[in-house]
Amino acid sequence: MSTTAAGPLTGLKVIDLATLFAGPLAATMLGDFGADVIKVEHPRKPDPSRGHGPAKDGVGLWWKLLGRNKRTLTLDLSAPGGRDVLLRLAAETDVIIENFRPGTLERWGLGPEELHAVNPRLVLARVTGFGQFGPYAHRPGFGTLAEAMSGFAAITGEPDGPPTLPPFGLADSIAALATAYAVMAALAGREKTGEGQVVDLAIIEPILTVLGPQPLWYD
């Protein structure tokens, strides 16, 4: 894409409420193609990627990666004032990406019902370890768990050695690609129905998909 031409997503407004790593990377990808992305951080607990891993000149390299093409503001979403500000922003936003544990936004009065009440066209993408529903929904989940539980780690490394995890955020990155794709599909659907949707993305599912028939072989 030309750095001088407007991107194909110019005019699309995105709010990034997520942290480490799949949700923010999905928002970054949308920003790479022209979307206007606002990154929301807690006023006392900034995004962990600012201090995660290596840094240069005091700036975390993960933050430089995930924070590109984004504007930032701070909100305490658990406080009434922060909730009110987010609802005002949501009224003029196309996409919100979040990765809190299921039920957290609802507890703050910011669940899909409240968000769609102020903006029926909003696409809400929810990225968690195991999805919004099911027996594992309320368990914390990270890419490392997805890489192990999917069976990926069991097929890497030496044949007679232990399961081997990738030395980078593989499951999170695949989930970010899947989230960005799902958001675009939801936006395309909105053009037909006029209504937004909720994207329920479990980090474990995209890596299961790219493993091909391996889970079926195991079964």
Confidence at residue 4, expressed as pLDDT on a 0 to 100 scale: 52
Instruction: Kindly tell me if the per-residue pLDDT of 2 is higher than 50.
Output: no
Tell whether 169 is covered by a domain.
yes
Dihedral of CA 15/139/47/32: which sign?
negative
Confidence at residue 1, expressed as pLDDT on a 0 to 100 scale: 45
d(CA 216, CA 36): 41
Tell whether 75 is covered by a domain.
yes
Active site residues per annotation: 172
Instruction: Kindly tell me if the per-residue pLDDT of 37 is higher than 90.
Output: yes
**Ramachandran region of residue 111, left (φ > 0), alpha (ψ -120 to 50) or beta?**
beta
Tell whether 98 is covered by a domain.
yes
Tell whether 87 is covered by a domain.
yes
As a whole-number percent, the residues of the chain with pLDDT over 70 amount to 98
Domain containing 174: what range?
13-218
Domain of 168, CATH number, reads: 3.40.50.10540
Tell whether 192 is covered by a domain.
yes
Tell me the pLDDT of the chain averaged across its residues. Answer: 95
Instruction: Give the lowest-confidence range in 28-32, 49-53, 99-103, 178-182.
Output: 49-53
Interacting residues of 165 by C-beta distance below 8 A, sequence separation 6+: 144, 147, 148, 153, 156
DSSP, collapsed to helix, strand or coil, labels residue 193 as helix
125-160: pLDDT as tens digits: 999 999 999 999 999 899 999 999 999 999 999 989
Tell whether 8 is covered by a domain.
no
Could you tell me the maximum CA-CA distance found in the chain, to the nearest angstrom?
Answer: 57
Confidence at residue 158, expressed as pLDDT on a 0 to 100 scale: 92
Instruction: Kindly indicate the confidence band of residue 215, based on its pLDDT and cuts at 50, 70 and 90.
Output: confident
Confidence at residue 217, expressed as pLDDT on a 0 to 100 scale: 87
Confidence at residue 14, expressed as pLDDT on a 0 to 100 scale: 98
Tell whether 44 is covered by a domain.
yes
Instruction: Tell me how many domains the chain contains.
Output: 1
d(CA 128, CA 186): 18
54-98: pLDDT as tens digits: 999 999 999 999 999 999 999 999 999 999 999 999 999 999 999
DSSP secondary structure of 131-164: -SSSTTTTS---HHHHHHHTSTGGGSS-TTS---
d(CA 134, CA 136): 6
For the entire predicted model, the pTM comes to: 0.94
Closest CA to 205 of 156, 133, 157, 154: 133
Instruction: Kindly indicate the confidence band of residue 30, based on its pLDDT and cuts at 50, 70 and 90.
Output: very high
Tell whether 3 is covered by a domain.
no
d(CA 205, CA 214): 13
d(CA 88, CA 114): 11
Determine contact, residues 50/60, Cβ cutoff 8 Å: yes
